Structure 1
């Protein structure tokens, strides 16, 4: 499975990840934080949380925020736990998006940033996100967008050279995946970061 390859890849990258991708992570996660104004009372699930940088950003302003991060890389999670060690209201779990270890209707907000292009089974991933989301909750996904020419080129190259990679989607295709999974799209846009990175963000409800 590609997930196994992704786990191995990110275990190897963990020690240098924040430094190597500092500009990308800072720009995209700051944008995501501004895009979805998370209420301090929300219980938040961050899927593929990596080194916990989104948690750190939220907790800087809302230190009592209830947050849960999941990732398949133990070494990325170790860094996340170290970053957030002073926040007992935050927890991290090694878990796949295809088998989230939570009961249904647990979270007010489910977030996934720059990770959907790695998910083995996008339909099953969305079904799991919907299962753990409360009836009045929101799903927020930020990911690469194939509508941009350079993202199309990256998509082709990564399918050849990155064994963990699955694919990125056009905005129309991704919206179709969401509506087919039973989500209602509340708002969406596309955004570019620098010359290479073209992304899309979507907020959806059950």
Structure 2
């Protein structure tokens, strides 16, 4: 978990800008009717969502865990005035908690990067109490689905995705979440799918800036894994040019899986 593809000083800020915590809590946690639960956020990043959970549900105890010291530092700043939230460094493959500690485990946009995804899901189950709930969210189709096709761009993306796959990155992880939960022994597994990236026509300035930064950060990591530095930089430029075109569409979907640990 420490070999995070997007490891960079800018990553905490980028992650914070990609989500509106209040909207996320309203949409995904409000239906769960939380009261006094113990909640674990695995891969909490800068903890903007973790902190919002604590603010929204002040009678809960919320713990965020992340493998990056940089994002832990950002997280500690974000929870300064939320006394029921704590943050610690840790690995999703070996969660530093006793069995049956939490009532709810949340894991958002982490499994796509992990080398042993089933192990991480099994660990999340271990730390849940019987009857506890797991909420997984991850993408499917990131960097893959575009129209109209651009053969040069697609070949370049396939090469890069092949390299990233060696680190554990899986752009089709979303569709696999149900199977991970079923194999781990969860029950009452609910799956929902919704658009995530949906860029029809020229990309807007805010999202272009986020994509540009994401591609720049990823390029640094890819360059460490393969001797194709010039090609990766050129591919990033090609991808942004594709997003700028008024006649193109790029999209991915978000899978959300809610599962229960058997009593």
- 1:123 matched to 2:118? The reply is yes
Preserved CA contact (<8 Å) 2:108 2:137: yes
Q: 2:101 aligns with which of 103, 106, 116?
A: 106
Q: Find the partner of 1:93 among 77, 88, 94.
A: 88
Q: Map 1:1-206 to 2 at 5 A.
A: 3-6=1-4, 9-14=6-11, 16-18=13-15, 22=17, 24-26=18-20, 30-31=23-24, 33-37=26-30, 38=32, 39-146=34-141, 150=145, 156=158, 157-160=160-163, 164-169=167-172, 172-195=175-198, 196-206=251-261
Match of 1:174, SS state, is: helix
3-state DSSP class of the match of 1:56?
Answer: helix
Q: Output one character per residue of 1:122-179: Cα deviation in whole Å (capped at 9) or x when no partner.
A: 111111001000101000001002499529x798444435875521436553212211
Mean CA deviation greater in 66-75 or 182-191: 182-191
What is the TM-score when the length of structure 1 is the normalising length?
A: 0.82
Note closer, same or farther for the CA distance 1:183–1:52 as it changes in structure 2 (3 Å cut).
same
Cα gap change, 1:5/1:42 in structure 2, threshold over 3 Å: closer, same or farther? same
Secondary structure of the residue aligned to 2:20 is helix
Q: Call closer, same or farther: CA 1:161–1:101 in 2, change over 3 Å.
A: closer
The 1:162–1:174 alpha-carbon spacing in structure 2 relative to 1, beyond 3 Å, is closer
Once residues 164 and 182 of structure 2 are traced to their aligned partners in structure 1, the CA distance between those partners, rounded to angstroms, is 31
Q: Taking structure 2 as the reference length, what is the TM-score of the superposition?
A: 0.66
2:96 is paired with a residue of what secondary structure?
coil
Q: 1:40–1:65: 8 Å Cα contact kept in structure 2? A: yes
Say if 1:144 and 1:169, in contact at 8 Å, map to a contact too: yes
For 1:102, what is the secondary structure of its paired residue?
A: coil
Q: RMSD of aligned C-alpha atoms?
A: 2.9
Q: State the shift of 1:61 in Å.
A: 2.4
Contact map agreement 2:111 2:138 (CA 8 A) in 1? yes
Cα distance in structure 1, aligned partners of 2:107 and 2:97: 16
